[in-house]
Chains A and B, each alone.
Chain A
């Protein structure tokens, strides 16, 4: 059912693309806007994430970082206002500039770059998915190529986009997360057990009893300063009722008893299970698409949006995983049955990794902070990412469309949803939201735009 809905989306996408193509052929009209090409690639990116087995929020966030950033660098030189941020990124160095005096068709660069980075970074996806990537690339290429190939710079535009993607992909290989899907679980890992430490979940999302990507926190960040962000404070372990630590879990326990229907819907909406969906960072990428479709910005701002969101969620997950394994903290499903109520289990099953801080919260906060910087604090969003999915019978809840008045509202609901799901304490979420902002501020601080040259 889920895949049916998904397939339907893709069919619509292909039909839309096909429709554009045929009408163009017929009457040389309705060439898609640049933002439509950008968002079509974002849709494809999330489709690949959703339909590639063994995907994880960690690996997915990293892919979004490189895919979004590739989009930016493949078109940034179309603008005199923007500039490459490559020199500011961790060990990348300057990227090749386009040839002087040649008029590039930047949408073709974007198109070729997205196809190239997707093919490389999702090398593990199915042949069927790979041919979907190729088809989308060919479709746009045919649409945008000059009718008269003589004296055309189309090939140069395509080559440039492809080269940028290849350079960025080469750089990605050394970050520690390359082909990370083959190392989801380290079966040789032995962790030291202590009171309050994470234990393999008994009400679990995954069959693995090893924690996911234990070494992900050692990966290179996109932005060096993200790696230097200070460690969060963690409430110290205590089983005495009334203690600060105990109360964290008590709140989760009490909440589960009084969950409203709306809260249940929130919990399942944001679960973004990697086995069934585009993962939580994919949800953030989707929100970027919503902002773009609504405001229809120029090609560079589209690309900047995906680059900022991609880098923000990638570094957010990397830092989050560093702290998750540093604190190695237990989930409510471990503490509550042991100290409050042996019968208790969470509304939503546990993911296979430690609790603190919340990955959902940190990435949602990071994405919301960059999106607010680009589109303003107040921004109305209608999130229908999961509309049409089959009702969750076990939890007696439907997938109901969400409306928000700001990006921050989205981030807060994402964080709260894990509290409603019973898999995160308030401090997991609070710290996640705080640290997500810090990471995003570093992304926002990159010199995306050229500094105005002072007149002498």
Chain B
């Protein structure tokens, strides 16, 4: 009976046309040497990963937070396996803290990616009010990191931080940070704690907007940029929602229906401020917002956002041209009951449109097992194919990232799972999935910013191929849940073998194109620097024109009888 069933299944999958080109993922966690699980501190928070090539060997490595367990830096050996190099890399400092999320960028522009790790408290010291500084690790360029938290002015921010995201909101090429905080900051010393400070501890928090001062320091410019909101923050993501060339910011808030809803902060660059336009754009989502995946799923040239939640996720479709956003989760076929965290838009089956992976997991300690989602884009509609694709893990999912660990051109996945506090029906550990879908052409594009951020964080890539345009933004962290995807843009091309045009929109307004690029290769596009606009000169010229016009007008008026 069982045998017959299997035969029928196999035959059906062979004769069904969709079954044939379906992507399949293989769980290679063990074979690749990944042994990780996130352990919570008194609750349900945390678990993220960052994709980075810390040693610039062309193979993308992984940094995964451990919470009450150790964080791990996994070096990609280039042969399908990873080695835990945390000890050699000098990550001992992180063992002191209960870590949460992680993001990376080349903060001092020395060519090596540095790491920002959010924390909530100390691991081995019970604090009356759990708060701690976040950790900034500077990459020494020789396979090791050093703790540069104090040096970069981050040692006085005692917070309950969830996720950090890099972006370049002032477009100066130095990657800045937004950090989401869940509970209010607490500066006090332990000896000053009384009942009043204790009851005040779990109030909503301001985030941090950390401006990178030429690679030397971070400065919290939250108030300077006209931000004063508080919320139960789950971080944010920098993204250009209105296609005006600067980086706006989406902020995720838990309990938006009771406290602060999500924010959509429009960047007024070159002016130094953000304005919350969430309400007028329909993005003041009042849910338990955990993260926002960024991607233009319908290839209309406007970024859409999949916002994860408890119960049902919100698929915010950008109507373009200032017309706001509409939640189309039901129409698009992604309306399924779950508790979702990480989400990643990627063209996993390489057919020319973005699919969507969603990591699901209940809230420790009382957990019901729920499978992750893998939504395949079938053209203005999605179908959950997690089971068929081998992605229906029932562990307690949190952050998830996509990258091409085996450099075979397609997008693989890493899903961070939490350890169950109580008994749980299935194992729950972090998984690495190798994408084994062989169909569809592809291209991978790395950016090398000269004036713009050095890995193109905040820049946008547009390709034109086969009469279709597709766009990608480079994730600086946050296009998931407290995690960061690869900074290498990946496009699936289907049967198209040649890309007509690739255009890079660098942060800061620089734009460049290349034409006729063959598919199935990884390329790097280096920024061609241009003269920076001298704003003083522009102001002087505009001023002179205005004066001249005034004089002419005055003369005309005067000459009339």
Contacts and interface: CB of A to CB of B under 8 A. Distances in A.
A355 to B, nearest CB: 16
Nearest to A124: B195
B366 interface: yes
Given A199-B366, A202-B310, A342-B337, A209 B199 contact: no
B195 A181 contact: yes
Nearest to B363: A209
A205 interface: yes
B366 A200 contact: yes
Contacts of B422: 190
B42 interface: yes
Interface of A: 52-55, 123-127, 179, 181-182, 187, 190, 193, 199-200, 202-205, 207, 209, 273, 275, 337, 342-343, 345, 349, 394
> Of residues B202, B232, B364, which shows the largest number of chain A Cβ atoms within 10 Å of its Cβ?
B202
B200 A53 contact: yes
B311 A349 contact: no
B186 to A, nearest CB: 13
17 contacts: A53-B199, A53-B203, A54-B198, A127-B196, A182-B198, A190-B422, A200-B366, A202-B311, A203-B310, A203-B311, A204-B255, A207-B202, A207-B232, A209-B43, A209-B366, A273-B258, A345-B311
A345 B199 CA distance: 30
Contacts of B146: none
B251 to A, nearest CB: 17
B105 interface: no
B246 interface: no
B255 A207 contact: yes
B517 interface: no
Contacts of A53: 199-200, 202-203
B84 to A, nearest CB: 31
A54 B199 contact: yes
A202 B199 contact: no
Contacts of A204: 255
Contacts of A182: 195, 198-199
B339 interface: yes
Interface in B50-68: none
Contacts of B42: 187
A1 to B, nearest CB: 13
A123 B196 CA distance: 7
A52 B199 contact: yes
Task: Please indicate which of the listed interface residues A123, A126, A199, A200 has the most CB atoms of chain B within 10 Å of its own CB.
Answer: A200
B257 A394 contact: yes
Interface string B335-374: 0010100000000000000000000000111100000000
Contacts of B43: 187, 209
Contact of B199 (A124, A190, A394): A124
Contacts of A200: 363, 366
Nearest to B184: A53
B268 interface: no
Given A187-B42, A202-B311, A54 B196 contact: no
Most B-side CB within 10 Å, residue of A126, A199, A207, A349: A207
Contacts of A207: 202, 232, 254-255
Nearest to A273: B258
For A55, A202, A349, the residue with the greatest tally of chain B CB atoms inside 10 Å of its CB is A202
B65 to A, nearest CB: 20
Contact of B196 (A124, A202, A343, A345): A124
Contacts of A54: 198-202
Contacts of B203: 53
Contacts of A203: 257, 310-311
Contacts, number: 66
A46 to B, nearest CB: 17
B198 A124 contact: yes
A349 B257 CA distance: 9
Contact of A123 (B195, B255, B311, B364): B195
A95 B254 CA distance: 50
Nearest to B339: A202
Contact of B337 (A126, A181, A190, A337): A337
B44 interface: yes
Contacts of B511: none
Contacts of A187: 42-43
A273 B255 CA distance: 14
Contacts of A193: 366
Interchain residue pairs A-B with the least CB separation, the first 4: A124-B195, A54-B199, A53-B199, A124-B199
Nearest to A54: B199
Interface in B187-203: 194-196, 198-203
Nearest to B43: A209
Given A200-B363, A349-B257, A209 B44 contact: yes
A335 to B, nearest CB: 14
Contacts of B198: 54, 124, 181-182
Contacts of B44: 209
Most buried by A among B42, B195, B203, B310: B195
B184 to A, nearest CB: 10
A181 B198 CA distance: 9
B275 interface: no
A209 B255 CA distance: 13
Contacts of B366: 193, 199-200, 209
B198 to A, nearest CB: 6
Interface string B294-324: 0000000000000000111000000000000
Contacts of B95: none
Contacts of B257: 203, 349, 394
B217 interface: no
A125 B195 CA distance: 8
Contacts of B310: 202-203
Contacts of A349: 257-258
Contacts of A343: 312, 337
Residue of A54, A182, A193, A199 with most partner-chain B CB within 10 A = A54
Which one of B43, B196, B198 has the greatest number of beta carbons of chain A within 10 Å?
Answer: B196
A125 B42 CA distance: 26
Contacts of A209: 43-44, 363-366
B283 to A, nearest CB: 15
Interface in B377-422: 422
A131 to B, nearest CB: 13
B195 A126 contact: no
Given A187-B42, A337-B337, A126 B196 contact: yes
B286 interface: yes
A149 B210 CA distance: 62
Contacts of A126: 196, 200
A203 B195 CA distance: 29
A199 B366 CA distance: 8
A133 B42 CA distance: 36
Nearest to B183: A207
A343 B338 CA distance: 11
Contacts of B312: 343
Contacts of B365: 190, 209
B26 to A, nearest CB: 32
A125 B363 contact: no
Interface string B436-480: 000000000000000000000000000000000000000000000
Nearest to B335: A343
Given A123-B196, A200-B363, A203-B311, 15 more contacts: A52-B199, A53-B203, A124-B198, A179-B195, A182-B198, A182-B199, A187-B43, A200-B366, A202-B310, A202-B339, A342-B337, A343-B312, A349-B258, A394-B257, A394-B286
Contacts of B194: 124
A209 B310 CA distance: 13
Contacts of A342: 337
Contacts of B199: 52-55, 124, 181-182
Contacts of B232: 207
Interface string B126-168: 0000000000000000000000000000000000000000000
Interface in B106-139: none
